Amino acid sequence: MRFWDSSAVLPLCVAEPRSAEARALIEADSAVAVWWATRTEGISALARRMRERAITPVGHRAARTVLAALADSWVEIQPSEAIRATTERLLAVHALRAADAFQLAAALAWCGSRPSGQGIVTLDSRLRSAAGREGFEILPERD
């Protein structure tokens, strides 16, 4: 099982330059853990793409269907006071936005705060950097 952030889930739903890499990773290990807000972040990103005419209404519906299928099978890390406290620590030590700090805090909760040898799948450069400093294996391997 790997932890996936929203930036890595989206290429599974819509065609993007990194879609092939994301598909290869999920085919290699289909067990996915995510932060509680990942589905909502995905819906937001898809709606933005449709408003910007980057995807058609038909493409939007298809992408939402893929996202729903993924959400039916993934494990969600639920919000808690411990995750909020970890998020606040991460904000103090890494150059992260709050949403990305919540993602990283959820990943730390998922692995019991033992990130060594645990994979986090993210395409966000700031989150990749912070997760690496926290001890996660960063996937895909190249940025």
Q: What is the CATH number of the domain that holds 73?
A: 3.40.50.1010
Where would I find the beta strands (DSSP E) of the chain?
2-4, 32-35, 75-77, 119-121, 137-139
Which residues lie below 8 Å from residue 118, measured CB to CB, with a gap of 6+? 2, 3, 107, 110, 111, 136, 137
The pair of three-digit structure tokens given for residue 140, joined into one six-digit string: 């895909």
Task: Identify the sign of the CA torsion 42, 109, 129, 21.
Answer: negative
Per the document, the length of the chain is: 143
Convert the pLDDT of each residue in 7-39 to its tens digit: 999 999 999 999 999 999 999 999 999 999 999
The pair of three-digit structure tokens given for residue 10, joined into one six-digit string: 């989206």
Residue 75, phi then psi, degrees to nearest 5: -100, 125
Phi-psi region of 135 (alpha: psi -120 to 50; beta: other; left: phi over 0): left
**Containing domain of residue 90, as a range?**
2-139
Task: Using only the alpha carbons of the chain, give its radius of gyration.
Answer: 15
State the total domains in the chain: 1
The tokens 């994301």 sit on which residue? 22
Convert the pLDDT of each residue in 63-96 to its tens digit: 999 999 999 999 999 999 999 999 999 999 999 9
Q: Are 16 and 10 in contact (CB under 8 A)?
A: yes
Query: Full-prediction pTM beyond 0.85?
Result: yes
Q: Which amino acid is at 17?
A: P
Helix 6-13 × helix 19-28 angle, to 10°: 100
Convert the pLDDT of each residue in 35-56 to its tens digit: 999 999 999 999 999 999 999 9
